[in-house]
Chains A and B, each alone.
Chain A
Amino acid sequence: EAEVAQSPRYKITEKSQAVAFWCDPISGHATLYWYRQILGQGPELLVQFQDESVVDDSQLPKDRFSAERLKGVDSTLKIQPAELGDSAMYLCASSPGRAFTGELFFGEGSRLTVL
């Protein structure tokens, strides 16, 4: 069964350091999302790509967060510098097609702890 792959699964870093997360969506899925899930809360959208273009990054803290999907396939989310409040699970999701079909397919997430 096709899955969304994410790495690393766990990352511990000190504040002010740089961190990066990688996501490989299900093959053929045109739309890719990065969500942040703080412990005990629901996922919050950070950025949405359609192919290689950003569709929505209105909730992305652009002073420290960046995301790219250069070839319209896999994607990288970077945080620099990391802050204590960035500790969370970073979830990548993908959906098929370019028209919204409803279902998001999530990866297992990358859990970030900032010390």
Chain B
Amino acid sequence: AQTVTQSQPEMSVQEAETVTLSCTYDTSESDYYLFWYKQPPSRQMILVIRQEAYKQQNATENRFSVNFQKAAKSFSLKISDSQLGDAAMYFCAYRAAYTGTASKLTFGTGTRLQVTL
């Protein structure tokens, strides 16, 4: 079974600084997708960024980028120029690439990010 581990329950960053959230996963599949979701206090789950395992190039979305190390099964999220609105729970998630029952997302336990002035 696939597992996703986020070893940092809480992180703190100053406004305008850069922070990296860690995520490791375990799978025997060669093709899969990885995601970072943000959950602000409003509870809404918001997709931040996604990565296809077959792509070597790291995904980037504005201030958000990932460091995907397939061999190490590591998928960290870097937030640059942190803003107060980035404060939230961040969840790393895994999904196998094939269809059917594999469409479920397997989540890590989350990292609570605090942004300070």
Do A and B assemble together?
no
Instruction: Give chain B's interface residues, CB within 8 Å of chain A.
Output: none
